[in-house]
Chain A
Amino acid sequence: MSLNLSGITLTYPDGDSRLTALDQVDLHVPAGSVAAVVGPSGSGKSSLLAVAATLIRPDRGRVVVGGVDTTELDRAALAELRRTKIGIVFQQPNLLASLTAVEQLEVMAHLSGTPRSEATKRAKELLDAVGLADRATHRPGRLSGGQQQRVNIARALMNEPAVLLVDEPTSALDQDRGAAVVDLLTTITHRQATATVLVTHDRSHLEGVDSVHEVVDGRIHQPARAGAEENR
């Protein structure tokens, strides 16, 4: 199950004219690979992620998520697609203040109608996988920034998504924790065969990714480096 963006053009209103955020962008991310999207602030990285997450409909182009063409889908169908096929790791953890770590994951299962016992079992397994088994009953206020980011990642994986979209996961973390998060993401991607897009402006943790795409002024340049392949 891959992610395919083809011919994506996205513009925003800018006074009487329109500002082009993405210009004829193509991006193919096969299952089991991590594509890093890098570029300076305002280059269009976040817009690209929003389009891939089906949160914005592009002016032109096709978005195919896990084999589903999203062009004609209505809001409810897009919400279902996000529930079932897309996992989003937000830049800030965006955890819900009233939920414990395990409940942050269970809510994803609740949205999908998964039985509670099954959801709890999977949520605990995922928390264990990100090293937070002993923090399952802690609310966000009692978790460190790094722990919150790991819960954020585990939540994105709860419904076994085909596509994992990760937005600046290291921006609020120090070097060591940032490297650990990127390592965790690449490990998960290879293990669960997700198509992962890692948007970042930080190029210091990209050794393990499979391809690096640079966005400049809304255009994607050819892969700057196929990290994993070059390193093999």
Chain B
Amino acid sequence: MFVAWRDLRFAKGRFALMGTVVVLMTLLVGLLSGLTAGLAAQSTSAITGLKADHLVFAEPGNGSLSFGQSTVTREQADQYARVPGVTSAEPIAISTASAAVGERTATLAAFGVRNSSPGTAVLSTGAADALKAHEGDQLTLQGHKVTVAAINGDASYSHLPVVWTHFAGPNATVLAVTTDKSADLAAADARLGTRTVTKDDALSAIGSYSAENGSLQLMRGFLFVIAALVIGAFFTVWTIQRSRDIAVLKALGATTKYLLRDALGQAVVLLIGGTALGTGLAAALGAVASGTVPFVLSAGTLLGPAAVLVVLGVLGAALAVRRITSVDPLTALTSGAH
């Protein structure tokens, strides 16, 4: 990278401009990734936190699963629990509920489970914060008075904080089941009129999550593509501007491999420097923002997108610097660079 380092120093303005673009792209992708993960957690953390490996829905009439449309009967629940290989099958009734503690009110996602004490509720920290509730407080949930037995976890469902309550009714929304490898779930579904999916697949049955996450992931995907195109365009122009220098170096005996390594090394330095700075800024801004907006600050939301940006940027640059192979060293003899 003898020439590449010196070009970086010499053409400071151009590389600083491109570096700034990389920093801003990384910052944008990092913030969007953190926000996407934060919003996803607000929609799904109650489901992903369930101690189960599969969820069982009632077979939907229109073919697509939905928590809102699913009703699993007591009979289905009882029979499912007896399927060989199913070690537990817990009915869960999910609904939206109005809650109040004193004068404060909030809308919560109520998760009704059978193995809890009647007359009590467990609030997620989000629900407790919304209601300013403490352990032992009286909570009015859909007109019924219950006691706050505990405040535990940070579960949310469809952007609502969760309250765990006792459920004694005949029909549940889904079954949270734990299975071993011997369980024939397809046969159980066919016999009982249910549909069993993994916990991860069940997330698409949360209507708001699918639409929201799909849109954000699409934006993120476009950002990755735009970043690769912008970096490719920059290095295309840069390589064209350097054509004379490349011809001179080839005439002096530089191999195409040497020149490609030099140019790609330059792109990697620019990309790693830009993404490192952009990731640092995204982490700092994310840390500040996480107090007010749903934002997940983790290696997955920051380092993953940064690595993808570097890889796509290098691909864009590689396509651009390919032109080096077609530069004819003879042009060095025909006219001068200066």
- Bound Cα distance A145, B252 (Å): 20
Write out the residue numbers on chain A whose beta carbons fall within 8 Å of the beta carbon of B2: 103, 106-107, 110
Known A55-B251, A107-B2; judge A95-B330 contact (CB<8 A): no
Known A79-B255, A83-B253, A84-B253; judge A98-B336 contact (CB<8 A): no
A53 within 8 A of B: yes
> Residue B6 contacts which of A56, A103, A167 (CB distance < 8 angstroms)?
A103
Known A80-B253, A83-B253, A111-B258; judge A95-B337 contact (CB<8 A): yes
Write out the residue numbers on chain B whose beta carbons fall within 8 Å of the beta carbon of A91: 333, 335-336
Within 8 A of A (CB), among B1-48: 2-3, 6-7, 9-11
User: 8 A-B Cβ contacts within 8 A?
Assistant: A55-B329, A55-B330, A80-B255, A84-B253, A90-B332, A96-B3, A97-B338, A111-B252
Pairs A-B, 5 closest by C-beta atoms: A92-B336, A83-B253, A98-B10, A82-B253, A110-B2
> Residue A79 contacts which of B6, B9, B248, B253 (CB distance < 8 angstroms)?
B253
- Bound Cα distance A170, B245 (Å): 22
Task: Name which residue of chain A comes closest to B329, CB basis.
Answer: A55
Task: Name which residue of chain A comes closest to B253, CB basis.
Answer: A83
Q: B269: shortest Cβ distance to chain A, in Å?
A: 15
> Residue B10 contacts which of A50, A97, A108 (CB distance < 8 angstroms)?
A97
B166 within 8 A of A: no
> Residue A50 contacts which of B248, B249, B333 (CB distance < 8 angstroms)?
B333
> Residue B333 contacts which of A46, A79, A95, A98 (CB distance < 8 angstroms)?
A46
Write out the residue numbers on chain A whose beta carbons fall within 8 Å of the beta carbon of B254: 79, 83, 111
Give the bracket for the number of chain B residues in contact with chain A.
20 to 34
B244 within 8 A of A: yes
Q: A79: shortest Cβ distance to chain B, in Å?
A: 5
B54 within 8 A of A: no
Q: Mark B240-264, 1 if CB is under 8 A from A, else 0.
A: 0000110011111111101000000
Binding site for A on B (CB under 8 A): 2-3, 6-7, 9-11, 244-245, 248-256, 258, 329-330, 332-338
> Residue A90 contacts which of B6, B9, B250, B336 (CB distance < 8 angstroms)?
B336
Judging by beta carbons under 8 Å apart, are B330 and A56 in contact? yes
> Residue B255 contacts which of A76, A92, A155 (CB distance < 8 angstroms)?
A76
- Counting chain B CB atoms within 10 Å of each CB, which of A49, A79, A93, A106 scores highest? A79
Within 8 A of B (CB), among A51-106: 53, 55-56, 75-76, 79-84, 86, 88, 90-99, 103, 106
Known A106-B2, A148-B338; judge A90-B10 contact (CB<8 A): no
Task: Name which residue of chain A comes closest to B258, CB basis.
Answer: A111
Write out the residue numbers on chain B whose beta carbons fall within 8 Å of the beta carbon of A155: 252
A39 within 8 A of B: no
Binding site for B on A (CB under 8 A): 46, 49-50, 53, 55-56, 75-76, 79-84, 86, 88, 90-99, 103, 106-108, 110-112, 139-140, 148, 155, 159, 167
Write out the residue numbers on chain A whose beta carbons fall within 8 Å of the beta carbon of B252: 82-83, 88, 107-108, 111, 155
How many Cβ-Cβ contacts under 8 Å join chain A to chain B?
96
> Residue A140 contacts which of B7, B256, B338 (CB distance < 8 angstroms)?
B338
- Bound Cα distance A112, B244 (Å): 21
Q: Kindly list 12 other residue pairs between chains A and B, CB separation below 8 angstroms, not including A94-B338, A111-B253.
A: A50-B333, A88-B333, A93-B336, A95-B338, A96-B6, A97-B245, A98-B11, A107-B252, A108-B253, A110-B2, A111-B249, A139-B10
Write out the residue numbers on chain B whose beta carbons fall within 8 Å of the beta carbon of A81: 253
Known A56-B330, A95-B338; judge A79-B3 contact (CB<8 A): no
Judging by beta carbons under 8 Å apart, are A50 and B330 in contact? yes
Task: Name which residue of chain A comes closest to B254, CB basis.
Answer: A111
Judging by beta carbons under 8 Å apart, are B248 and A90 in contact? yes
Write out the residue numbers on chain A whose beta carbons fall within 8 Å of the beta carbon of B10: 97-98, 139
Judging by beta carbons under 8 Å apart, are B248 and A98 in contact? no
- Bound Cα distance A36, B189 (Å): 93
- Bound Cα distance A56, B7 (Å): 29
Known A96-B3, A107-B3; judge A79-B250 contact (CB<8 A): yes
Task: Name which residue of chain B comes closest to A161, CB basis.
Answer: B253
- Counting chain A CB atoms within 10 Å of each CB, which of B11, B252, B255, B332 scores highest? B252
Task: Name which residue of chain B comes closest to A100, CB basis.
Answer: B6
Judging by beta carbons under 8 Å apart, are A94 and B253 in contact? no
Judging by beta carbons under 8 Å apart, are B330 and A98 in contact? no
Q: B243: shortest Cβ distance to chain A, in Å?
A: 12
Q: B237: shortest Cβ distance to chain A, in Å?
A: 16
Known A106-B2, A107-B2, A167-B333; judge A93-B251 contact (CB<8 A): no
Write out the residue numbers on chain B whose beta carbons fall within 8 Å of the beta carbon of A94: 244, 248, 332, 336-338
Judging by beta carbons under 8 Å apart, are A49 and B336 in contact? no
- Bound Cα distance A93, B332 (Å): 10
Task: Name which residue of chain B comes closest to A96, CB basis.
Answer: B245
- Bound Cα distance A82, B332 (Å): 14
Q: A91: shortest Cβ distance to chain B, in Å?
A: 7
